[in-house]
Amino acid sequence: MNRYKNAYGILIKNLPWHFEKKDLSEYFLKFGSIVHIDRSINPKTGFYTPDTHIYFSSRESIDKILENKHTIQNHKLLISLSTNSKSNTISKTDLK
């Protein structure tokens, strides 16, 4: 079970391998409060994998991020809603 199920998450692909959690935090904090950053390391190479999940406290943060394209160090980021978060649930209030 995902412990960030009640947060709003995005999946980011195509990140530079050396881009650390602190770098992600600095870049994405302008969109809202970050609950958690899940940045994995490839055990074979010891480098970060090119994708990560970032969880936010509000849906508005996700909406702001998805409104625009993002490029970090010449890497065009591919951003989508995380399948493991509240982002993919629709309530009756969302339909109004």
CATH number, domain with residue 62: 3.30.70.330
Mean pLDDT of 62-74: 95
- Number of separate domains in the chain: 1
Cα dihedral angle (33, 51, 21, 16), rounded to 10 degrees?
-120
- The predicted structure's pLDDT at residue 27: 96
In a domain, 1, yes or no: no
Domain region containing 23: 8-82
In a domain, 57, yes or no: yes
In a domain, 34, yes or no: yes
In a domain, 3, yes or no: no
Mean pLDDT of 37-60: 91
Task: Quote the pTM value.
Answer: 0.81
In a domain, 93, yes or no: no
Amino acid at 79: I
In a domain, 31, yes or no: yes
Please name which of 83, 72, 81 lies closest in space to residue 48, comparing C-alpha atoms.
72
